[in-house]
Structure 1
Amino acid sequence: MASPTHEAGDVVAHGGAAFPPFEPSTFPSQLLWLAIAFGLLYYVMNRVIVPRFHGVVETREVTVARDLDAAATAKRNAEAAGTAYETALADAKSSAQAIASKTRDAMQAEADAKRRALEDDLAERLAAAEAQISARKTEAMANVRGIAEETAIAIVERISGRAPAPESVSAALDRQAAH
């Protein structure tokens, strides 16, 4: 049976030399190629990729700045529009209140004029009616005296059988009215 230790003969038995990156004799060439690969990668990064990233970043910064400016402008415009709207709304409210007040005053004045005209018409009718009532009352009172004289004459004639003199009846009615 073979021993678990690695001996130089075992390495050769397995097919050759040790793993090349761990081979101390290849370190200088590996370091050279590492330096060349790093330099080439640095050159490509510095000349191609970094300018592209830088261009993308600058483009993004410009786009963001432009968008922020546009947003600020839109905000100012919206605020101005809001202020204009509020002003227009306040003007419309005050105008509507003024129109309503003016209309109410005009309607009140019209109603007052109609009321005064109606009151004047009613006062004229009342005065005419009172004058008519007074005239009728005077006329009726004048007729009452005549009716009273005729009635008194008729009663005395019926009771006594003879008619009294109209002057004596008139004098009696005057005495009675004086009391």
Structure 2
Amino acid sequence: MHRTPRLFLFAAPLAAVPGRAVAAGMPQLNVHDPLLIGQVVWGAVIFAGFYIVLSRSALPRIERVLSNRRTRIQNDLDIARRAKAESDRASAELLSTRHEAAAQARANVERIQNEARLSAEAHARETAKRLEADVANAEARIAQSREQALSSLPAIATGTAQNLVSRLIGDQDEQTIASAVKRVSA
């Protein structure tokens, strides 16, 4: 049942072609045929009619669409160029700001290091002065203690000598013992 329509569609064009047209070649291009000139003229008239109708109705619409598309593309390209230029400016500004911030940070670090160094040096000087004062005070106290010890030494020596003499001899002459201690200590 499905083969019948297909077979009919295939056989119908073969039946429409006359046998002599196939045998003689292409009768459509036979220049001696009087119908050929009429067909060419009517073809040109129909083509001209189609051209006029399309050029007045469809072609202007197509041209408007193409023009709108061209304008939109150009506008988009202009926007993209402006955005790129703005992006380049922003990038350059960011890079410049970053370099300035890095330079400022380096300057701040150097300033802080210098301040810390100066503070440490001042603290060291202050500590050295305080230590020198402490050493001078200690030396003065040592000298004073030495002087006190040396000044009390004759009395101690005299007392010790008197004790020894009184234990050994039993008789003690304080004047003689004091002068003997003075001679020895001088």
TM value normalised by structure 1? 0.74
Whose relative contact order is higher, 1 or 2, with alpha carbons under 8 Å and at least 6 apart?
A: 2
* 1:114 paired residue number: 123
2:57 aligns to what SS in structure 1? helix
- Out of 129, 132, 136, the residue aligned to residue 141 of structure 2 is 132
Amino acid at match of 2:86: N
Structure 1 residue 78: Cα displacement = 0.7
From 24, 29, 45, give the equivalent of 1:36.
Answer: 45
Gap regions ≥5 residues in structure 1: 1-13
Shift, 1:93, TM fit: 1.7
Equivalent of 2:95, from 86, 89, 93? 86
Report the counterpart of residue 101 of structure 1 in structure 2.
Answer: 110
The one-letter code matched in structure 1 to 2:174 is P
CA displacement, residues 11-56 of structure 1 (integer Å, 9 cap, x when unaligned): xxx99x999xx68675454334322221111212333333333333
Identity of aligned residues (%): 25
- Partners of 2:176 and 2:102 in 1: CA distance: 88
Q: Distance in 2 between matches of 1:48 and 1:112?
A: 95
Partners of 1:131 and 1:137 lie apart in 2 by: 10
Report the more deviating stretch, 39-48 or 103-112: 103-112
1:51 aligns to 2:60 (yes or no):
yes
- The normalised TM-score by structure 2 is 0.71
Report the RMSD for the aligned CA atoms in angstroms.
2.9
How far apart are the structure 2 equivalents of 1:119 and 1:36?
A: 119
Distance (Å, rounded) in 2 between the aligned partners of 1:176 and 1:35: 160
Give ranges in structure 2 of 5+ residues lacking alignment. Answer: 1-14, 22-26
Please list the CA deviations of residues 100-155 of structure 1 after superposition, one character each: whole Å capped at 9, or x if unmatched. 32233223323332332232222222211211111011101211221111101111
The letter of the residue matching 1:166 is E
